[in-house]
Structure formats: structure tokens, C-alpha cells
Structure 1
Amino acid sequence: MSESRTKNTARNITFGTLNQVVTLLLNFINRTIFIKILGPEYLGINGLFSDILMMLSLADLGFGTAMIYSFYKPLAENDNKKVAALIKFYRKVYSIIASCVFVIGLTLVPFLRYIVNLESPIAYLEVYYLLFLSNTVISYLFVYKASIISADQKNYLISKYQMKVNFYRTVFQSLILLLTRNYLLYLFIQVIATFINNIIISRLADKLYPYLINSRQKLDRNEKKHIFENMKSIFIYKISGVLLTGTDNILISMMIGTIWVGIYSNYILVLTAINSLINIIYSSVTASIGNVIVTEKPKKLFEIFKSMQTVSLVISCFVTVCLYMLINDLINIWLGPDYILDDLILISIIFNFYLGSVIHPIWSYREATGLFVQTKYIMLFAAILNIFLSVLMGKYLGLAGIIFASSISRLVTYFWYEPNLLFRVYFEEKAKKYYIPLVINLLITILLIVVLKVLFNFFTIDTWYKFFIKIIIVCLITLITVIMVYRRTSGFKMVLT
């Protein structure tokens, strides 16, 4: 705790970004080999099983967020006994969770054939699913130790080791596909890599916090009760989040076809990689926010939020414009025209991405302040609405309808409710100070897309050389415009200082 919040945040962002860039490059290589050898059918199964296992992650009952949140205060106060007691408690909890996930996962095996929708059946489908399940169960074994490192603003250490494990995992998986074309071995390597990563992080935590080893500290009944109360609220958030983001591939598979899950997953790979880079910034400062909340007043909290929102708006505008203008060209050159989605689907994907991007500062404060307690039911309503709209709109608009349903569900529920609550309770300010910059940013983003689309309407991008030229032009025009718009804002000046 002797290191400053600023120093730890900078480290987290630096190492986290490096980790994600390396992971992105490796994933592109891995995905290219995967598609060329196994085809879109297996790619669809990969995406579908990932979403099914995301649904199973509900079994952790929201303990992940509650766990990190509970570490903030004792870490800030150097209360080692309390930290040790929390770790011991969470170790027992996650042993139970891992068992529950495994048992629930097994009960889904007989229903896999009804969820997978392919023209030709794939052999060993159940075996592939069981390896996915094993990978998820293993990921729970030492998660409580990774959480204390994150809460202590030292996530950069986790990033360093994850980068190494991901490198070797991707190399071995690619070699396996090239030499044997065996999907079973490919998945087996994933399970081994997850296990090794967890062992490394566990030993790192033991080294950083030696007082955790063989600790006999215990939480009293009131402390456990408080954690469970937070957990109940987060559990509703957990269900809502999974139903909002984790059901799309299942619905796409059942309503449209599993092969479309594979085609859609190529776009999601790009968006996930970019989101991961963006998330590094916010996850790196969330622990710092948690520390600030313990020690600072509402005015200071609001000042930090303003700078975060400015960063968010700059990033959201820049990335959204670049994604819309470049992603179809990337897919075309990388995989071919058969893997390109039409304009309506692309708009639905990009709009959904934009909404998720601009609300990041709100989410960071939600995690750090415990806002999930007050907003749990609005999230649940959003999730239920999303499923209803996905089925309805998917029937008439297909893939685009399912994705648009997520955007509409967000907009009419927590997208406006959470900022109102945060500003009233924690900042003691009016929420219009949040919404006005947001509307302006959306208009700038749309204007830039229209102008650039007209500019490049008569150009065909069919080589990597032309694609890189387009990247430079699009990025420069967008970046210069965004800087010109935001250079005089108080948030932008605060970031520079």
C-alpha cells in the first residue's frame, strides 16, 4: 500500500495493454488456423459452448464482485487479519461453487443436441462440451487469490504471467491444429493452460501476502452476513448481465443456425479484443476509486469521474468510428467475403458496442461504490426485456434483431437509471452533467461515420496495403476531430495534468 494509486494504475494499464495486444495478435493467428482447418461449424460450436458456460457462471452467485469490494477497506487500512479471514472464507465458498458448476454443467449434456443447429451432426459433441466445462471449473479454483491482487491495485502482475501463459497456449494449440487437425487436443491444451495460470497466480499471491498462508483467522457472523447481503444484490446483477450478453449465441444457434454463431464470433473477437484494451483502463482505476471512496469527499469523487468520462467519450467516439469504417474490410481481407455480415447487422453490432463503451465510467463507480445494491432490480428487468425482445425481433430481423434487442433493453432501463442514482447519492450533482456530453458525443460520432463513409464510398479495399492506408486516414481524421472537440474541456485538461 506504500505505492501511490497513480503509480499502480499506470502499471496496471501498461502491462494490461501489452498483455491484450499480444493476446490479440495470438488470437488472430489462432483463429485463422482454426477456420482454415476446422471450418465455421466448429467455430460456431466454440462460440456456443462459451456462452453456455457463461450461463453456468451464475453459480458463483456474484461472489467475484463482492469479494473484490470487501477487500478495499481492509487493504487500505493494512488490516492483515481481516484480509486473511476473508481469503479463508472465500476459499471455502469457491470450492463449493466449483462443485456446483460441474454438477449443473453435467445436467445439460442430454440437451446439447437440441441447442446445436447444424446441417450435419458433429461427432464427440458431448466430449468437447465436457472439456469446456472442465476449463470453467478449474478457473474457479484460485480465483479468490487473483481477486486480492486486483483489489490491491497490482493487476499488472497478473497480466505479466497471463501474457506468457497465453503465448505458449496459442503456440501449442496452433501447432496441434496444423499437425493433427484434432479439436479434442486443441481443447485439452486450453484446460492445461488455465490450470497452469491459476497455479502461478496462487503462488504469486502467497509471495505477496505471506500472512495468508496457513492463516487461522475467521470472519465473525455479522461480517459474513454483510457479505451475503452484498452478494444477494450482486447475484441479481450477475443474472441480468449474463442474460443480456450471454444468451445471444444460444438464441442465434437455435433460431438462425450454429454456423452463424461462428461468423458472428469473428466480429466479437475483434470487439472483445478492443473492449479488453479499454477495460484495462477502467479496471485499473476501479480499485483506486474504491480507495478514494474510503478517504475522499463527493467533490473529489466527481472531479475524478469527469476526467474518466472525458476519456470514455474520446475513446468511444474514436473506436466506434474506426470499427464501423474498418471491420468489414478486415474480415474480407482476413477470411474472405463469405464471412462478412450485412450493413444492418454491422450497425446493430457497432451501436451495441458504443452503448457499452460510453457507460464504462458508471460501471467503474458501480463496482467501487457498491451501487449494485440499489440498482439490482432495474438490471433484472433489462435482462427479462432483452430475452423477450430478442425472440420477437430475431423472428423478423434475424441476427440484427437479436443484437438490437440488447441495445434497446439497455437504453430503456439501466442506461439512464444508474447515472441518475450515482449522481444523486455519491456526487450530489445533477445527472444532466452526464447526459449532455453523452448526446454531443453521439452526434459527433454519427457525423464522422457519415462523412468518412461518403469519402470512402468509391474505394475498394482488397489488399492489406490498401487496408493499412485506410486505417491511417480514418484514424487520423477521427483522432484530430475528437481532440479538437475535447481539448478545452475541464476533463481533458485534468487528464493532461
Structure 2
Amino acid sequence: MTIRSRAHKSFLNARTNLIFYFLVLAATFFSRKIFLEKLGDDFVGMTSTLSNLLGLLNLAELGVGSAVGYMLYKPLVEGDRERINQIVSVLGYVYRKIGLVVIAGAVVLAVFLPWILESAPFSNLLIYFTYLSYLVGAVLGYFVNYRQLLLNADQRQYVVTAYYQSANILRLLIQMAVLYRTSNPYYWVGIEIGFSFIYSWILNRRIDRAYPWLKTAVRNGRQLLKEYPELIKYTKQIFVHKIGATALFNLSPVFVYAYTSLTIVAYYTNYTLIVSKVQLLVSQLLGSADAGIGQLVAEGDENRIQQVFREIFALRYWVGGTLVGALWFVLNPFIQLWLGAEYLLPPGTVALILLNLYIMFTRVADSFNMAYGLFYDTWAPITEAGLNAGFSVLLGHFWGLNGVLLGTTLSMLAIVVIWKPYFLFSKGFRLSVWRYWRRVGVHVLILAGVFVLIGWLNRYCPVDPAAGYGVWFLYSLTVTALFALLLFCVMLLSTEGMRTLTSRMMQLIRSRLRR
């Protein structure tokens, strides 16, 4: 596969994710209002509770999908259809076993639902019918939709996103229309189940058209699994990483609750709600290239790998710097407009929130470690979670919310910022990590310079961004555009990664215009 085709598929993935991100966000916003009005707070709360409970059962999958995705990169590059069929067959076999575990766990959990939802003002029939709707959606992923992982590994995630989110939006629209006429929760649940089957049927037809040669034999999966012992090894390693990440991000809220008042917790969650939406958007945009990186590494061209690494490095630091820099100026005015000045957090706290976000945005090494199969540093996520807990307990005792946030920062600095790049350069690239640190230093200095300049210009801005939503929107647009433009120009002049990335994007645009 050529660099150009990989870039084109990455562009399609990013564009599709971006379009559906805003469509689903709008549809969810309007549908939630209608669901609350027609079904009530209790029903919406019950659906959230049941969804979260089944989400816990889905932890049984942790690692398998990522391990199989990594194993598919090389045969996809080589066009080895027999090996692809075997790996997908093994995936189907393993997923079927996981699906049975999820069903068994769901049956056990179902016994306790009347006690868990004892205060819910609904009949057991409605509770179990709703529970069944979520279980059907989860189980179909294991028994029917498992082949979609091939689309993801082949950089065709845009197909999965387009079909899934289109079905999701259509489902919400039909549910809203039906509720307007009936306000009957049973219809809502029935539509939920129906669309799970409709999506599965459409997706699998699309997979059959894309890969007519794909012939999986799940019944042979057990025997084939013996030929791929690395699947179990990689799954165990990735499982530890994902459990560590889950512990890391679920521990921080606990420490916030422990060392602050409920009022501060409410203030803090207002900020994290906004930040999480921005983080999701960036993840969907920049994560669209992960499969392309995996295929590139499978080809083994070290010069191309280093070129792409520099480009993705520049892209992440440009996007991360732009958004974090702009959020510093626009986040507090938005909170003030949305909720009131009494809900504002101090500048130091906001700075720590945004610093942690910047570290998350610039995690360049993660995608390449995954592409190289560097999962065996299983001590790293455990250490990161332990450092986070230790620092948060210690610093939270003295500085409350700021101490907890600083604990997260220190744990990520140790593992995400220091260890992960070193691991990649020493075991993957087999190059000196100092060239990475020089590149980091240059990009951080560029961001600092642009930040100081825009801060100086902002002092002379006659506009109060908290004066109204229209004013805030124009102010935010201007600040974000300034950050994006200035960062881009300085990086274009001073970094090779931005120059080659710009050249690649221009070539892609010109090729699209010629069609």
C-alpha cells in the first residue's frame, strides 16, 4: 500500500469521524430532551444504569480486539488472504467464547436487578425488556459483528462509523417521532432492539462486498488458535494496559471526592464534561491514522516510518497546542455564560486540567508502540496507576483538587512523557531518544512563544467574551484561528515534520481536485 493511499484512507476516517461527531452530538442533545420529557428522569436514569452494568461485563473483551488488529497488519500489507481468513476465524472463535461469558454474567446479574433497581417505579417486565435490548446489542458484537475488526485494521473504519452512526441517528429520530405520539417506553425499547439487528445485517453485507474472499470458519478456531499462540500473549499484555488505564482514569474522581467538598466536585465535573468532549473529538480525528501506522511498520521501511512519525508528531503538537491554548482563553468565559461566575475554578486549577489534556493530546509514542507490538511493558500501566494514587493521596491532602490534578500530571510525566518514548526509540526505532526530546523542546518553546504573544494581544482586546453566546463564539473562533495560524506558520518554518506533512496534504488535495 502506498503512502498516498494510506493518507487518503486516514483522511476519509478523520472526515467521517468529524462529520458524525457533530451529527450525533446534535441528535443526542435533542433526543435526550425529548426522552426526559416523554419518558421521565427515572426511565432515562434506569437506561443509563443498565448500560453501565453491561459495560462492566464487556471488560471481558479487553485486549483481544487490539491484539487481533496488530496481527492483521502484516498479512493485509502482504495480501495474504489465507492468513487473514485464519486470524479472523480465530477472532470469531475467541469472541464467541467471550460472548458466552458475557451472557452468563448477564444472566447472573439479571437475578439482582430487582434489588439494584428497587426504587425504580417500573414493572419488572419493562426493566428486563430494557436490559435485554442492551444485552442484544452487546452480544451481536461478539457473535455476528466481529468481522468489522478487519475493516478497522484495513483503514476502513469510516465504513463502520458511517453505518453505525447513521443507524444510530435514524434510531434516535424514529424513537423521538414515536414518543411524540405514544410516550410508550416499550416502543422505545423495541426500536432499540430492532436497530441492533438492522445495523448488524447491513454491516455484514457491506463486509461481504468489500471482502468477497473472506471465508471464516469459527468452528475451526480452536484448532487454529494453536497456530497463533501470540494472540494469547498479546491479549494478556494489552489487557493489563487497558486495566491500568481504566484504573488510572477512574481513581482520580475518587480522590477528588475524598479531598474536596461536593460543591468543588460539581464545579470540577463541569470542566471535565467540556474537556472530555474535546478529547473525544481529537481522539476520533487523530486516531484515524493508527491502522495506517500499523501497516507502515509491517512494511518495514524505516525511512518512511521516521518520516511519518515526524509528521504525526507535528500534527499532534499543532492540534494539541491550538486547542489547549485556545481553551485557556475561552473555557472560563463559557462556564460563566453557561452556569454563572460562581462556578468558575481558579486559574491554577484550570491550568492543571489543561496541562493534563495537553499531555494526552501529544501521546505520539502510543500509536507506534502498538504498531511495533510493544505491549510487554506491563509494569508501566500498573506503575502509572500506583504513582497516580500515591501522589494524589499525598498532594491532595495538602492542596485538595490541585493536589489530585498534580498527582495525575506527575504520574503521566513519568510513564507517558518519559518512559513510553524511551521504550519506542530503544526497542522499536532502535535510535537515540535524545532526538525525540530535542523535537519536544522545540515544539514546547514554539507553543510558549505563541501563547505569550496571544496573551499580550488579548490584553488589548475590547471584547468581553462572557458578554453573550454570540460574542463568545466569535471570540473563540478568533482565538482558535490565531493559535492555529501562528503555530502552523512558526512550525512550518522551523520543523521538518510540519513541512513534509503540509506537502503531503497539498498533494492529497490536488489529487482530489483532479478527479
2: CA distance between counterparts of 1:52 and 1:247?
Answer: 18
- Report matched runs for 1:322-361 at 5 Å: 322-333=326-337, 335-337=338-340, 340=343, 342-343=345-346, 345-359=349-363, 361=364
The answer on 1:240 being equivalent to 2:244 is yes
Worse-superposed segment, 232-241 or 29-38 = 29-38
Partner AA of 1:203 in structure 2: R
Match of 1:478 among 483, 498, 507: 483
Cα drift, residue 150 of structure 1: 0.9
2: CA distance between counterparts of 1:178 and 1:110?
Answer: 33
Structure 1 partner of 2:500: 494
Cα drift, residue 153 of structure 1: 1.5
Cα drift, residue 62 of structure 1: 0.7
Equivalent pair of 1:16/1:156 in contact (CA under 8 Å): yes
Equivalent pair of 2:374/2:428 in contact (CA under 8 Å): no
Structure 1 partner of 2:150: 148
Structure 2 partner of 1:92: 93
- Report matched runs for 1:182-201 at 5 Å: 193-194=195-196, 196-201=198-203
Q: 1:196 to 1:445 in 2, by over 3 A?
A: farther
Equivalent pair of 1:307/1:491 in contact (CA under 8 Å): yes
The answer on 1:288 being equivalent to 2:292 is yes
With the length of structure 2 as denominator, give the TM-score of the two structures. 0.79
Q: Deviations over 1:153-189 (max 9, x none)?
A: 2112122213312322343455677778888977776
Equivalent pair of 1:352/1:407 in contact (CA under 8 Å): yes
Match of 1:163 among 162, 165, 169: 165
Structure 2 partner of 1:368: 371
Partner AA of 1:364 in structure 2: S
Q: 1:214 to 1:289 in 2, by over 3 A?
A: closer
Q: 1:61 to 1:278 in 2, by over 3 A?
A: closer
Q: 1:179 to 1:458 in 2, by over 3 A?
A: farther
2: CA distance between counterparts of 1:353 and 1:475?
Answer: 16
Structure 1 runs not aligned, ≥5 long: none
- Report matched runs for 1:291-330 at 5 Å: 291-330=295-334
The answer on 1:433 being equivalent to 2:439 is no
2: CA distance between counterparts of 1:97 and 1:339?
Answer: 48
The answer on 1:73 being equivalent to 2:74 is yes
2: CA distance between counterparts of 1:31 and 1:409?
Answer: 37
Partner AA of 2:96 in structure 1: S
SS at match of 1:231: helix
Partner AA of 1:492 in structure 2: M
Structure 1 partner of 2:379: 377
Equivalent pair of 2:42/2:121 in contact (CA under 8 Å): no
2: CA distance between counterparts of 1:295 and 1:496?
Answer: 24
Structure 2 partner of 1:19: 20
Q: Which has the higher contact order (CA 8 A, sep 6+)?
A: 1
2: CA distance between counterparts of 1:43 and 1:253?
Answer: 25
- Greater Rg, structure 1 or structure 2? 2
Worse-superposed segment, 379-388 or 364-373 = 379-388
Worse-superposed segment, 271-280 or 30-39 = 30-39
Q: 1:476 to 1:394 in 2, by over 3 A?
A: same
Structure 2 runs not aligned, ≥5 long: 504-515
Match of 1:466 among 463, 471, 475: 471
Q: Deviations over 1:6-39 (max 9, x none)?
A: 3322322222222223223334444666788999
Cα drift, residue 376 of structure 1: 1.9
Equivalent pair of 2:86/2:224 in contact (CA under 8 Å): no
Equivalent pair of 1:241/1:383 in contact (CA under 8 Å): yes
Q: 1:61 to 1:15 in 2, by over 3 A?
A: closer
Worse-superposed segment, 13-22 or 246-255 = 246-255
SS at match of 1:212: coil
2: CA distance between counterparts of 1:434 and 1:15?
Answer: 31
The answer on 1:275 being equivalent to 2:279 is yes
Structure 2 partner of 1:10: 11
With the length of structure 1 as denominator, give the TM-score of the two structures. 0.81
Partner AA of 1:464 in structure 2: Y
Q: Deviations over 1:459-496 (max 9, x none)?
A: 25242211122122212321232123201211111011
Partner AA of 2:368 in structure 1: Y
Partner AA of 2:59 in structure 1: L
Structure 2 partner of 1:223: 227
Cα drift, residue 94 of structure 1: 1.4
Q: Deviations over 1:252-276 (max 9, x none)?
A: 6788799988876665554444334
2: CA distance between counterparts of 1:247 and 1:192?
Answer: 37
In percent, how many aligned pairs have the same letter? 24
Structure 1 partner of 2:512: none
Q: 1:460 to 1:271 in 2, by over 3 A?
A: closer
2: CA distance between counterparts of 1:192 and 1:264?
Answer: 38
Cα drift, residue 235 of structure 1: 1.2
User: C-alpha root-mean-square deviation of aligned residues, in Å?
Assistant: 4.3
Partner AA of 2:151 in structure 1: I
Equivalent pair of 1:310/1:491 in contact (CA under 8 Å): yes
Equivalent pair of 2:90/2:224 in contact (CA under 8 Å): no
Equivalent pair of 2:148/2:160 in contact (CA under 8 Å): yes
Equivalent pair of 1:379/1:414 in contact (CA under 8 Å): no
Q: 1:214 to 1:149 in 2, by over 3 A?
A: closer
Q: Deviations over 1:308-336 (max 9, x none)?
A: 10111100100112223223444554x53
2: CA distance between counterparts of 1:254 and 1:112?
Answer: 29
Q: 1:114 to 1:268 in 2, by over 3 A?
A: farther
Partner AA of 1:242 in structure 2: T
Cα drift, residue 90 of structure 1: 1.3
